[in-house]
Amino acid sequence: MKIAISGAGIAGATLAYWLRRAGHEPVLIERAPALRTGGYIMDFWGVGYSVAERMGILPAVRQAGYQVEEVRFLADDGRRVAGFAVDALRDLTRGRMTSVARGDLASEIYRAIEGRVETLFDDQISAIHEHDDGVQIVLQSGGTRDVDLLIGADGLRSRVRELAFGPQDRFEKDLGYRFAVFETAGYAPRDENVYVVHAAASRQIGRFALRGGRTLFLLVFGSERANGVEPTGSAEVRALVRTIFADAGWETDRILAAMDTTDDLYFDRVSQIRMPSWR
């Protein structure tokens, strides 16, 4: 079958790999101009770990990953007030676990299909026409494709879901948090292989030392602190985050200053999609 997949991220690229192995002809359609990099660090274990192993990409994923030793909570003055070793979780998984950046995992998955699966970057689906023999999709670039099956793997704000089932707000459950993620170079202290956390009144700041002298920051806050403001551009995001974390203490002033030096800033809300059916 000819199968179109909207979204070339982790889900879309993994699906394309297995569809191709099963003898189908997948095509990926990705609205970004290139494969998306960066993103938060996530613990990678369980079913996903086993799938990566079956795909033959596990050694590369582990090499790209980090062996986090501790999650450490710090007070305003930098004192350790709580924490836990990650070894316990690693022991539970019998060592079948790593912590990896979302972008690094996506890159390794895509490398397994690159040159084997057609990918249309900088494009997206603008219309869907179902017929007896399958689906015709209209691309934003102006072309059309006739396929047997269309699968949406395009995330929280899925274009396919909107076209096929209706507006986003019918299915999105806001879980009450907003977050900002960014990387910067040259930040100190480093605290290698430790996820450092500082919490202050419905706000949380985390930092993690990456390779190449870079540091990843994750800032999370309760949505009520935004007072209904939904920033639409980078400048508005920076202004909102700076206002909300202005009195959070610890290293916050230096972290906010580092945020202003990067153009690698991602901001979103924490939500869940709830639908009565996926087809």
Nearest-5° angle of CA 204, CA 207, CA 213?
160
The answer to the question of residue 222 being in a domain is yes
Any idea what DSSP says for residue 116?
T
Model confidence pLDDT, tens digit, residues 147-175: 999 999 999 999 999 999 999 999 999 99
Average pLDDT, the chain: 95
Give me the pLDDT at residue 69, please: 95
What are the tens digits of pLDDT across the range 238-251?
999 999 999 999 99
List pLDDT tens digits, range 176-200: 999 999 999 999 999 999 999 999 9
Residue 36 binned pLDDT confidence (cut-offs 50, 70, 90) = confident
Structurally, how many domains does the chain consist of? Answer: 2
pLDDT tens digits, 198-244 = 999 899 999 999 999 999 999 999 999 999 899 988 999 999 999 99
Pairing of β 125-131 and β 134-139 = antiparallel
Parent domain of 32:
1-67+87-166
Confidence grade of residue 89 (pLDDT, cut at 50, 70, 90): confident
Angle between helices 102-111 and 46-55 (to 10 degrees): 30
| Residue 78 within any structural domain of the chain | no
Q: What is the pLDDT of residue 201?
A: 86
Q: Are 36 and 97 in the same domain? A: yes
Query: Looking at 132, 166, 200, which one is the last position of a domain?
Result: 166
Q: At 138, which CATH number?
A: 3.50.50.60
Task: List, in sequence order, the alpha helices (H) in the chain.
Answer: 10-21, 46-55, 58-64, 87-92, 102-111, 159-165, 234-245, 252-259
Per-residue pLDDT reduced to its tens digit, 118-150: 999 999 999 999 999 999 999 999 999 999 999
Show which of 100, 132, 166 is a domain's final residue. 166
Query: Of 104, 139, 166, which marks where a domain is finished?
Result: 166
- For 255-272, write each residue's pLDDT tens digit: 999 999 998 899 999 999
CA 84 to chain centre: 25
Whether the full predicted model's pTM is greater than 0.85, yes or no, is yes
